[in-house]
Amino acid sequence: MSTQNVFDIIFPGIKTRRAAELFVRILHKSNGIATKNSVSEFANNIQIGIILENGELFRYSRRNFYMTVLRTLIDMGFIQKNVPVWDEKRNKTLYVYSRNIFDIPNKPPTVGFWRISYYICKKWNRLFL
């Protein structure tokens, strides 16, 4: 696959792709786990507008984030929802969004859908490993 970015394959829209990249950056900073509150805060921030590294203001609808970005990542298996994690500070179980690392073979399948899926999963794993 010619693209280096997994989001180029999954999301056709430029703004949707950028919102997904920003969300995964948040996941990456927190070891692949995000609480529902932090995801909600992120969605609010991108709706208000955040300034990117290049100084550009980026806005994306909260509804579109949940309906397009997060739902797609969950439906495709890239992110797991309601994963129980023990919180030492609060002494209780939190249910969080967690990234999924795929167990893929060293060599890709020969043809078709499975070959494309292999490369998509490989690019996703590279984001977190």
Q: Is the pLDDT of residue 1 over 80?
A: no
- Domain presence at residue 75: yes
The residues near 81 (Cβ < 8 Å, ≥ 6 apart) are 74, 97
- Domain presence at residue 46: yes
Q: How far apart are CA 109 and CA 116, in angstroms?
A: 9
**Average pLDDT in the 15-20 region?**
94
Q: What is the pLDDT of residue 5?
A: 81
83-117, pLDDT tens digit by residue? Answer: 999 989 889 999 999 999 888 888 888 878 888 88
Range of the structural domain that residue 61 is part of? 6-99
- Domain presence at residue 112: no
Higher pLDDT, 99 or 1: 99
The residues near 2 (Cβ < 8 Å, ≥ 6 apart) are none
- Domain presence at residue 124: no
Q: What is the pLDDT of residue 105?
A: 85
For the chain, what is the domain count?
Answer: 1
- Domain presence at residue 78: yes
- Domain presence at residue 129: no
30-88, pLDDT tens digit by residue? Answer: 999 999 999 999 999 999 998 887 888 999 999 999 999 999 999 999 999 999 999 89
- Domain presence at residue 113: no
Amino acid at 40: S
| Helix 14-29 and helix 112-128, axial crossing angle in degrees, nearest 10 | 50
- Domain presence at residue 121: no
